[in-house]
Each structure stands twice: as C-alpha cells, then as structure tokens.
Amino acid sequence: MIKLQAGDKENLDIWNECVAFSMQDFERTYKVLDIHYDIQCGESFYHDRLPGVVERLLKGGIAEISEGAVVVFFRDVPELADKPLIIRKRDGGFNYATTDIATIDYRVNDLKADAIWYVVGAPQTLHFKQIFEIGRREGYRADLCHIVFGNVLGEDRKLMKTRSGENVPLRELLEEACRRARKIIDEKNPDLGEDEKNDIAATIGIGAVKYADLLQYRTTDYIFSWDKMLSLHGNTAPYLQNAYVRIRSIFRKAGNPPLKIGRLIFADAAEINLAKRLCQFAEIVPQVLNGFRPNILANYLFELANSFHTFYEACPVLKSEEPARSSRLALCDLTARVLQRGLDLLGIKVPERM
C-alpha cells in the first residue's frame, strides 16, 4: 500500500488494471439500474493530495504527532473525546480517513459543492462524525451529511446471503428479478412478442427490487421476499405499474383522443377522493428531502393507486355521458402522469403493457 501511495510504477500498473476490470463490471450493473454518473473519482484519484492534507492539518494545529503517527484528537467534543483519528500511520502510510478528508477538500474547493451527502451504512457513523468535525475545524461550511441505511435480511432474519454463506452479488439478484418477472409475463400475457416480454420483464423486475428497498424507512432492516416484491397486489412496484398500464389501456380503447376539458365535474365520492389525492403530489415531493425519506413518496404513490382502483371500480369512464366522461378521462390522464413521474423520481420505469 505504501508503494502504491508513493506512485511505484509496478504497483500502479497492477492497480490500474484491477480498477479497469472493476469499472467494467460496475458499469454493467449501473446500466441495468439505469444509473449514470457525471464524475467518478476512485480512491486512487486522491493519492497525490494525501501528503498535503496531513501537512496542512499539522500546520493548522488540527493534527499532532503521537507515538510516531499523525493523529487528530477531539478533546473538546464529548462524544469523540476518547476516539482519536489517525491520518498517517507510523510507517508513513495513509488510510481511509486521510482520503475522505481529501475528498471533502476536492468537493468543496474544486467542485464548489455546498452539500455533500454520504450514503453509507450505519457502522461508519463514528468515522463520518470524526471526518465532518475535521471539516468544520478547517472552516468548511458545506452541508456534510451521513445518510445511513438499514440491512437487507433473508427469510431467516439474518443478513441476506447465498446458500453457501456468501454475499449476494447485486447483478445476479437483478438478473434473477428479471427472470422471475419474465415467468409471470409468460403466464399472464403469452401473446406478446419476445422483445416486448424481455423489456417489460426488465422494467418490472428492476422496478420491484428498487421499490422494495425504497419503500422502507431507510434505517429499517427488512426481509427480502421475491413473492412479495413481485406481487401485483399490495404495496409493490408491479401494483403501481399495473395501475398505470390499466389507465393506458383505457386510452387505447378510447382511440387515444385529445382531452377536451371545459370544466371538471366531480360528483361521486371516489372521484373527489382521487382528485384530492392528486393534489397532494406537490406537497409530498419536497418532504422526501426532510430526513431523506423516499418511502414517503413510495407510500403516497401506493395510496394514489388505491384511490384510482376505487375510482375505476365505482365510476365508469368510457361508458359515461358527457361532461362526466371528459372529467373522468382527465382524472385518469393526470393519475397516469403522476404515477409515471413519481416512480421516475424513485428511478423506476413504467411499461405500456404487462
């Protein structure tokens, strides 16, 4: 590690080859998840900055030499008073703490970030408290926030593992989700073409995994269940996607006419309830950032889908007379748009058919 951090050519060549292989594999998974990055800076990106970080903290009196290592003490912070942080080891090597301080420097000074959010598991809570305290001592005013999350458990309520006891690779899990979704599509809509089945299976399978995770309060552990997350009933992505598909089916049957709305008329209680639910969307979205809770949006979309299904059962749309017909079509259209937009905010797509 010391040779690598010092720029030794042989070590760097091996490292760069490993990074290239890793990034290729990461990119395949990112593509499946439809995730795109503007900037990707691995740990090695900061190697040249690490000596400067240590020297700056020593010069500023934030760090000091203790038993041959460079250490930051937090004597004036009660919860950290007995938890010093090493930023350079006695052998001259740097560690994750040094790199994380360098990342804050880069993001604040080079990228001009005013907010830096770390989505990392709860076991790193102490680490980030120490890093953020150093950032504050250096005078950084950016919003530094550690967003913790819970664990995914197997049906035995222990950390999810393969049968051999290994961690479950994300890409394998996503591929299995698509296979299971494809099986459901084969059973329910066998007349669709192969390409369309595969596209729909990917939309449903990937969406199901994302939604099952985002549905939970982010610090809550949850039990992973294929049957539950792929169900067309209950609080699942397929249930929400099915509501959107049902609305699109209504418009296909109507010949996709342009909406002509003079004024909206709501007489039935189900219409009024759906209209009120739609009006809540603008209030719900900003709440997601209060405590970083995408589950608020997920639960709202579930309630919206429930309201739509109640409306659909109680209020004929295409068979109703004007002006009720146009009003109900408008409600359907807006419901579909909110479902699509809301799921898109969660990183989930919607199919036109299922």
- What is the secondary structure of 114-146 as a DSSP string? SEEEEE--GGGHHHHHHHHHHHHHTT--SEEEE
User: Looking at residue 165, what is its pLDDT?
Assistant: 67
The predicted model gives 337-345 an average pLDDT of: 98
CB-based contact 224:154 (threshold 8 Å): yes
Write b or e for each residue in 117-128: b if 16 or more Cβ atoms lie within 10 A of its Cβ, otherwise e: ebeeeeeeeebb
| DSSP β-bridge partners for residue 251 | none
pTM, full prediction: 0.87
DSSP reduced 3-state for 64: strand
> What CATH code would you report for 41-148?
3.40.50.620
Nearest 5°: the CA angle 343, 345, 349 is: 40
CB-based contact 353:301 (threshold 8 Å): no
Name, in order, each residue with C-beta under 8 angstroms of 160's C-beta and a sequence gap of 6 or more.
Answer: 151, 152, 153, 154, 168, 224
User: Looking at residue 1, what is its pLDDT?
Assistant: 64
Residue 57 or 189, more confident: 57
pLDDT tens for 32-82 read 999 999 999 988 889 889 999 999 999 999 999 999 999 999 999 999 999
Residue 322 or 250, more confident: 250
* pLDDT surpasses 80 at 349: yes
Q: What are the residue ranges of helices labelled H in the chain? A: 2-6, 9-33, 50-59, 96-105, 125-137, 170-188, 194-214, 226-229, 237-253, 269-279, 281-287, 294-314, 324-345
CA distance linking residue 330 with residue 336, whole number of Å: 10
Give domain limits for the chain: 1-40, 41-148, 178-345
Write b or e for each residue in 69-91: b if 16 or more Cβ atoms lie within 10 A of its Cβ, otherwise e: bbbbbbeeeeebeeebbbbbbee
Looking at 3.40.50.720, 1.10.730.10, 3.30.450.40, 3.60.15.10, the CATH number of the domain 178-345 comes to: 1.10.730.10
* pLDDT surpasses 70 at 144: yes
pLDDT band of 164, cuts 50, 70, 90: low
Q: How many CB atoms lie within 10 A of CB 188?
A: 10
Domains 41-148 and 178-345 share a fold: no
Residue 9 or 71, more confident: 71
By the 10 Å C-beta count (0-12 exposed, 13-18 middle, 19+ buried), 35 is classed as exposed
The predicted model gives 185-207 an average pLDDT of: 94
Name, in order, each residue with C-beta under 8 angstroms of 165's C-beta and a sequence gap of 6 or more.
Answer: none
The predicted model gives 234-263 an average pLDDT of: 89
Q: For 81, list phi and psi in degrees, rounded to 5.
A: -60, -35
* pLDDT surpasses 70 at 335: yes
Average pLDDT, the chain: 92
The predicted model gives 234-252 an average pLDDT of: 95
User: Looking at residue 169, what is its pLDDT?
Assistant: 85
CA distance linking residue 10 with residue 14, whole number of Å: 6
